[in-house]
């Protein structure tokens, strides 16, 4: 970016103005509607000023009227354009997430626009592609489900090979190998898969092992003063390594945000979006993330696990009504009162109760 006292003064003034705007709209729905008329101006500054992102997030997170009347195709297209300019910026995905729901309720119109513009028309240029592959090697320790234990015998064993237990092949064939890839032109090629990982298809767990690595531990000489020629060479190598670690962390944070916005697009049983996303994120792949994250417990895998669990919930677990509830009768004859049944706990009917047994097993362990 440009430098100089004039430019810096403008940036300070902008940041202070945005800070004042944030204070004016925080919790004030009426002021939010006034400021929303200038939402496109605020979005233009998101990549340069974190306070602009805070203002946009406050506008979008709790004002349903604003969401329904001021967010449309034009605004979502602005997000897509900015995401192309600044690749792998998870902040834009977090803002898109707030566009898809308000106070825990899905907004179908916005969900479908976000899917159409970002996940369909511009996916190749913006998003990380999520793949499964039967050719990738499997790690034996990830296959262990606790067979022959009391919990396994309770939740899973009685329901195998009966056609209603989702993902039952994971017990016999092991987890699904998961791969990531993305546009090689990301950030001018600096964030391409081959640049960061020396391969075009990156195994998911290789990416998130790097995400949990400590840059300070990898680069002990970076903090010391490089005085000699040899020390300066070492420092340059460390700086390159730090840049690589930062790039890998950015990829992981972006993928977690991508899972989260995918989950928000399904919130409230948006079946149009669900029918498309189930082609991308299979039930088996999401359960694999939960299972493998439980074994490789790290800060990076925890963030991934939370996002995958949320997507699993909105895309699969909550996609169908779990029970049929009969509305109560307001009047009865006297002869019916003695025969009236007691209150029954609501639960899924028939074998539907057991379809998510593998998820129950993971939770119980």
The per-residue pLDDT of the chain, averaged, comes to 83
pLDDT higher than 50, residue 220? no
pLDDT for position 20: 95
- Cβ atoms of residues 176 and 135 within 8 Å: no
Mean pLDDT of 119-148: 77
pLDDT for position 32: 94
pLDDT for position 141: 40
Under the phi-then-psi rule, with left for phi > 0, alpha for psi from -120 to 50, and beta for the rest, what region is 148?
A: left
Stated pTM of the model: 0.83
pLDDT for position 336: 66
pLDDT for position 274: 97
pLDDT band at 342 (very low <50, low <70, confident <90, very high): low
Mean pLDDT of 181-198: 81
Tokens of 11: 């940036």
pLDDT for position 140: 45
pLDDT for position 225: 47
pLDDT, tens only, 241-288: 778 888 899 999 999 999 999 999 999 999 999 999 999 999 999 999
pLDDT for position 222: 45
pLDDT for position 223: 45
pLDDT higher than 70, residue 329? no
Strands 202-203 and 178-181: antiparallel
pLDDT band at 321 (very low <50, low <70, confident <90, very high): confident
Tokens of 34: 């006034």
Mean pLDDT of 209-224: 53
Compute the half-sphere exposure of residue 21: CA atoms within 13 Å on the CB side of its CA: 24
Phi, psi (5° rounding) for residue 305? -65, -45
Please state which of the ranges 31-45, 86-100, 201-215, 269-283 shows the lowest mean pLDDT: 201-215
pLDDT for position 212: 56
């Amino acid at each position: 970016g440009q430098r100089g006292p004039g430019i810096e003064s403008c940036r300070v003034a902008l940041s202070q103005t945005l800070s004042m705007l944030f204070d004016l709209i925080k919790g004030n729905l009426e002021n939010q509607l006034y400021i929303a008329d200038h939402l496109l101006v605020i979005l233009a500054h998101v990549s340069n000023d974190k306070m602009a992102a805070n203002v946009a997030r406050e506008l979008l997170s709790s004002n349903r009227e604003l969401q329904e009347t001021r967010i449309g195709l034009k605004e979502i297209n602005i997000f897509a354009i900015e995401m192309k300019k600044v690749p792998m910026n998870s902040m834009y995905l977090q803002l898109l997430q707030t566009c898809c729901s308000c106070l825990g309720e899905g907004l179908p119109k916005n969900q479908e626009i976000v899917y159409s513009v970002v996940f369909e028309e511009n996916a190749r240029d913006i998003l990380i592609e999520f793949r499964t592959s039967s050719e990738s090697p499997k790690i034996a320790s990830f296959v262990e489900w606790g067979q022959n234990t009391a919990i396994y015998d309770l939740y899973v064993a009685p329901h195998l090979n009966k056609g209603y237990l989702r993902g039952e092949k994971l017990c016999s064939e092991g987890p699904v190998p998961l791969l990531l890839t993305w546009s090689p032109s990301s950030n001018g090629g600096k964030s391409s898969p081959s640049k960061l990982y020396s391969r075009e298809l990156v195994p998911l767990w290789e990416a998130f092992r790097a995400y949990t690595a400590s840059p300070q531990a990898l680069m002990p000489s970076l903090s010391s003063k490089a005085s000699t020629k040899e020390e300066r060479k070492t420092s340059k190598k460390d700086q390159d390594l730090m840049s690589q670690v930062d790039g890998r962390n950015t990829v992981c944070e972006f993928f977690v945000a991508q899972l989260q916005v995918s989950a928000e697009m399904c919130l409230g049983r948006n079946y149009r979006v669900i029918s498309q996303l189930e082609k991308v994120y299979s039930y088996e792949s999401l359960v694999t993330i939960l299972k493998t994250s439980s074994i490789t417990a790290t800060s990076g895998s925890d963030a991934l696990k939370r996002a995958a669990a949320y997507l699993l919930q909105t895309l699969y677990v909550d996609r169908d009504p779990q029970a049929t509830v009969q509305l109560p009768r307001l009047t009865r004859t006297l002869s019916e009162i003695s025969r009236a049944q007691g209150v029954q706990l609501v639960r899924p009917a028939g074998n539907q109760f057991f379809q998510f047994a593998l998820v129950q097993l993971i939770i119980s362990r």
